Structure 1
């Protein structure tokens, strides 16, 4: 019998939202019937039996198309919806090859360990016996098991990090595997964008090079991705191979889905402050759990995940204690055993709700879910739709976007139709970014001497010039057989982190019991586990007693107070190289490379739940520096005029900087946290008032270049953001930033509004 709206576990929740106007927009996606095709002719009989025994007697149309494309020898990228069965698109061709050719090998790459575990379970369910011998080979694999896996397994499931640091540099131990590698699968390819994607592109090019060296041929590369605007371009940029086929006609059934845009209520009309989106989401998750709806809640930050999970657990402990332990957080940084336990509870249905970062946005099978709650805009429409796609696997579902105070969130709430109708973005990578590409050339030289005439097929036409540059800085040496490492004993892969600017991490140790709780990336350590910071883990709060820089450990102890911490930073920029420049809107606009220097100098304690400041505490931490891409513009005196007194100038520039950073994600596929900024009334190199906006990752990947190209729109969107906000003097919905290293001081909303208006008038 069909479920009526009144029976849906979220009906009362949505009704309450309509009544008090927190529900700012509601939409509906109808169900979609499947398009089915028979199993293709010619599949190995063992695979056909495995599929039918698993209940797969037919394929969806896109699965059948993908199998046909692979059979023709063409690489493909498939971009169908969440839970559409994309994994069968590559599993059938890969498993058919392994069953048909006893010596064949396959390599599956996943961005997370959880995905590899999930795929291993899926492959095992086909019961293909000795024909298919899968094994996971990643950082959690015991060292005593690794040699046996290399010899026995013909399907390796791993991640780009292990391929980069553990497999390619040790290719001699994998010679039989590379000699017979026929199929490479790259799943969740949309994740490989920006800095991470630029690194992975270099790793895949190194993989192709090693395969050719051993076998004289390249493996067939099969990709799966969420829906993005440029899947073929991304696939070809990632691999360096042309001719990818695009499989995008989704033949899977679609669930009926309610879509809700939810804006927390205003708590102060003058300041336009709103109730916390995390508190609002916690109430929503609690309500759904009590009603029996299996729910996933996505929160951007690890800290936010822990906070929402704690709020839900506390509410359930008071009113429904039996449900408290059926809600859990999930994020990176947990130990392997903790992750496996949580995944098993998700699959079994023991957990009614999980609060997670984007670690579970991807294709891990976590069973039937009724509701997906996304707390604040995840940075891209592609990610939002992927997260929403988690809801409705039992024929109906609820997908909610809970807006934060963030300026972009409130911009979308004022223009909900514009938000819901936004097209998915294009994923941008730049594998030749000097600070990314050069270290990978060193890794390649460690694997084999680089012969430019041969290897430019993998590393591009500038291979010789790049190698000669590395000779000039003392890293490579040119010999008769090619460019080699100047220090043969060096192991450059150990120094290159694919996911952050530094390879090292800090261990977080609970001194009350001696337990290692997890790890924190070194690039984040000074802002998250400095002395006195409040650190959240597995729903519990800890106070950092000491950040030991020499041993790279953060020593923490259990914490029961009612405050949290926010770091205060000092930032400086130095212009290294000018790449482009133009006059526009009354300013001199530039784009180029800058050095950014940051020092965490203090932290502020803020009271829960009203976010009032308690005090400011001084820190003594070393400076961190990195080089990156930036746009900057210099404002002339005519634009500022005499009615901008000096005491308002800094606040005006600072507020304008914040507003432009807030809307830059409308131009580039990025998140506000991927961007940094600095505004100053006099910069030593420009000699006058200047605003800098820079890529927040070393080297940069083109985010601020998009801002430079579309600067006029950037200024227009920023003016629209400020002028539409009803607050009196600036709030989190327009010019205040949650990531401001100056704790949002000083800010002059009216000054920024006037300055941007004058720029538009020009």
Structure 2
């Protein structure tokens, strides 16, 4: 686009390239498609299929199907076609559609209604569905659109009320399957196993149709999610318009310190220019606060530039808004009333948000797959613009120093661990509440079922009688098992001046996000938190006009619970993988000026600790002189090396750095030596740190390259400083980390981690 010519970017672009358009491969509608469905498609102007849609049509006749093609490739039609054909031929048949976000279900319901099929009775069944409407949906709807949370909380535990539905369940659609990875994916994999078990109880074995963005392991991922193999359709035959791709790096403002202009300010600068030119744009950010700040800065810039009417056509979109607020923003986006939206990845997914021209991704979203999904939101109907706007984060700058490798990098594998002990135990408790479990349920839950059930008996969650395991607790298990976080409850954020409910935040994240004194942003308005009551689940806020933001300071303790794998190198370095317990306490917060991020002061807090058990890798030095690091530099060297490894671990595992925690200490209480921990930041863990252990040599080499290549003198956000550091990046030693990582890389040279023995508990 001309608006991003080299003359207009201030030298900020790292690389520019163009993707060619791709021609389509069309085929006729299937001869055996039901006539009513064929006629409905004709009314919408659909008289042919892309070749991959035909492949999905044929594959579903043989069993489960996983469709893994690009954005805007017609995956919805690929799974709708066989489902609609079944419903047309069998008027008692039922289908269940699962979406990770409510907006997606709303979007699909609109598309199904547009077909005008007389036999089709779609209905949304989620937390926003009025209770008075629910009995009729259970009784009459033949397509129920919901999400994994409602399936887990409302449908499976009450399967008796859904008996007619389950007796006729023919198909289950799992859309946006790539989203189900990590902790969330491991939970959903167990929910789908529970679904298959309940369906079998009512005599049905539904076909699963999964739709996913492009990932490296669609077959393995589909099998991990549903517990059975699926045929993969991945040869994308849909047309694609040409696209301009720009990597945009904010300019250095202090070369010695390695400081760059704010990515948020740069994003607002770019977005305001696009809006002023009336280019319809979506701007993605990882953080809730970032969304609000970019929206605020963009609006201010447009008003300053005399474009106030256009400023009203830009809105933020993120989690924590009320359902009404989200629906209103989505409607304005689809209608074209909005010119731009600043969003979290809630709008990365397949909701139809109209004809967009440009997509900006501010900082690396964690995976190449997510980046390409975000870029694919623009240019669906004509030539598009895709921008990656780097932050000063170490990984972003690492990628900017290697742009060709970055753009050529293949998409990652999705990591799911349905047999993660903590997660599976929770879902077996839920399953025992739904129906008594027996040894025959190994077909759904795997060979470790009876071992896990004995554990549940020991902790008093279930009781065994005659080989049948039943819930013995008076509690309702699904309420105690959150799918998306470690928190079973949320905290309501209330404006005390008006009594208005602004939004919610997970309880586990509340001490860090809405502690007393925190600056909280909502729909572009700043609020100061005046009170947090975790017992009642309420945070009180009031409007705030200051020019600072807040960053929490944490105190973290790690204890080794079990060592699963361990290796000692000839140099004496010990590398371990196993289970740890983490105790995290928010002890203070720092106020920083918005304009230059300079600290103002540090304010103490007294808040309860959060505790969880997770997986970790850790390395233990043989002595304080390893790598020739000076004794007084060792704490900073360990801390900086930990940050560098965490920064590059997302290149090896499908995650982002916010999924990873770390701790470094010059003398750990249990090892008695200098030790660095890198752990999964979610209870139970899902294999992120295990990937780091298995590929520790690569992890160390990448971290060394990150530190070695950064031109700063003493360490900066582009190498060893972390935006999520609980110690506010103190102490850090770049030179010490360089020497330490070189010694680690040398110690790991030639060491194989493929067949490491499993020692006893620590």
Scaled by the length of structure 1, the TM-score of the pair is: 0.96
Question: What SS class does the counterpart of residue 250 from structure 1 fall into?
Answer: coil
Equivalent position of 2:385 in the other structure: 398
Give the Å deviation of 1:490.
2.8
1:112-168: CA deviation from partner (whole Å, max 9, x where unpaired)? 000000000010110112x11000000111111111111121110000000001000
Among candidates 69, 78, 83, match of residue 89 of structure 1: 78
Give the Å deviation of 1:42.
2.0
For 2:549 and 2:170, locate their aligned partners in 1 and report how far apart those are by CA, in whole Å. Answer: 52
Give the Å deviation of 1:57.
1.1
Equivalent pair of 1:73/1:220 in contact (CA under 8 Å)? no
**Residue 632 (structure 1) aligned with residue 625 (structure 2):** no
For 1:306 and 1:638, locate their aligned partners in 2 and report how far apart those are by CA, in whole Å. Answer: 45
Equivalent position of 1:572 in the other structure: 557
Give the Å deviation of 1:334.
0.9
Give the Å deviation of 1:356.
0.5
RMSD of Structure 2 on Structure 1 (CA): 1.2
Among candidates 182, 187, 196, match of residue 199 of structure 1: 187
For 2:616 and 2:5, locate their aligned partners in 1 and report how far apart those are by CA, in whole Å. Answer: 43
For 1:182 and 1:394, locate their aligned partners in 2 and report how far apart those are by CA, in whole Å. Answer: 35
Equivalent position of 1:446 in the other structure: 433
Give the Å deviation of 1:67.
1.4
Alignment of 1:60-459 (within 5 A): 60-70=50-60, 72-129=61-118, 131-215=119-203, 217-242=204-229, 244-318=230-304, 319-452=306-439, 454-459=440-445
Equivalent pair of 2:625/2:631 in contact (CA under 8 Å)? no
For 2:594 and 2:134, locate their aligned partners in 1 and report how far apart those are by CA, in whole Å. Answer: 48
Among candidates 467, 488, 497, match of residue 512 of structure 1: 497
For 2:405 and 2:45, locate their aligned partners in 1 and report how far apart those are by CA, in whole Å. Answer: 42
Equivalent position of 2:652 in the other structure: 667
Among candidates 630, 636, 640, match of residue 655 of structure 1: 640
Equivalent pair of 1:586/1:759 in contact (CA under 8 Å)? no
Between 545-554 and 607-616, report the one with greater CA deviation. Answer: 545-554
Among candidates 26, 35, 39, match of residue 29 of structure 2: 39
Equivalent pair of 1:639/1:758 in contact (CA under 8 Å)? no
Question: What SS class does the counterpart of residue 431 from structure 1 fall into?
Answer: coil
Question: What SS class does the counterpart of residue 237 from structure 1 fall into?
Answer: helix
Give the Å deviation of 1:665.
1.0
Give the unaligned 5+ runs of structure 2: 748-762
Between 443-452 and 631-640, report the one with greater CA deviation. Answer: 631-640
Give the Å deviation of 1:758.
2.2
**Residue 463 (structure 1) aligned with residue 454 (structure 2):** no
Give the Å deviation of 1:645.
3.7
For 1:719 and 1:16, locate their aligned partners in 2 and report how far apart those are by CA, in whole Å. Answer: 35
Question: What SS class does the counterpart of residue 645 from structure 2 fall into?
Answer: helix
1:157-211: CA deviation from partner (whole Å, max 9, x where unpaired)? 0000000010000000000000000000000000000100000000000000000
1:314-333: CA deviation from partner (whole Å, max 9, x where unpaired)? 11222201111100011111
Among candidates 617, 623, 635, match of residue 609 of structure 2: 623
Equivalent pair of 2:193/2:227 in contact (CA under 8 Å)? yes
Give the Å deviation of 1:224.
0.3
Equivalent pair of 2:557/2:584 in contact (CA under 8 Å)? yes
Give the Å deviation of 1:471.
1.0
For 1:437 and 1:574, locate their aligned partners in 2 and report how far apart those are by CA, in whole Å. Answer: 23
Alignment of 1:577-616 (within 5 A): 577-584=562-569, 586-616=572-602
For 1:713 and 1:490, locate their aligned partners in 2 and report how far apart those are by CA, in whole Å. Answer: 46
Taking structure 1 as reference, are residues 182 and 275 closer, same or farther at Cα in structure 2, changes over 3 Å only? same
Equivalent pair of 1:681/1:690 in contact (CA under 8 Å)? yes
For 1:73 and 1:159, locate their aligned partners in 2 and report how far apart those are by CA, in whole Å. Answer: 26
For 2:352 and 2:744, locate their aligned partners in 1 and report how far apart those are by CA, in whole Å. Answer: 51
Give the Å deviation of 1:760.
2.6
Give the Å deviation of 1:14.
3.0
Equivalent position of 2:5 in the other structure: 14
Alignment: residue pair count: 745
Between 111-120 and 274-283, report the one with greater CA deviation. Answer: 274-283
Equivalent position of 1:5 in the other structure: none
For 2:3 and 2:272, locate their aligned partners in 1 and report how far apart those are by CA, in whole Å. Answer: 13
Give the Å deviation of 1:639.
4.7
1:360-410: CA deviation from partner (whole Å, max 9, x where unpaired)? 100000111100000000000000011111121232010000000000000
Question: What SS class does the counterpart of residue 637 from structure 1 fall into?
Answer: coil
Give the Å deviation of 1:73.
3.5
Equivalent position of 1:502 in the other structure: 487
Equivalent pair of 2:624/2:674 in contact (CA under 8 Å)? no
Give the Å deviation of 1:698.
0.5
Equivalent position of 1:7 in the other structure: none
Give the Å deviation of 1:96.
1.2
Equivalent pair of 1:31/1:395 in contact (CA under 8 Å)? no
1:432-491: CA deviation from partner (whole Å, max 9, x where unpaired)? 111100010010000100011x2000000111111112112211111126111123x431
1:586-638: CA deviation from partner (whole Å, max 9, x where unpaired)? 51111100000000000000001100000111111001110000111111227
Question: Stretches of 4+ moved more than 6 A in 1?
Answer: none
Give the Å deviation of 1:94.
0.8
Give the unaligned 5+ runs of structure 1: 1-9
Question: What SS class does the counterpart of residue 312 from structure 2 fall into?
Answer: helix
Equivalent position of 1:50 in the other structure: 40
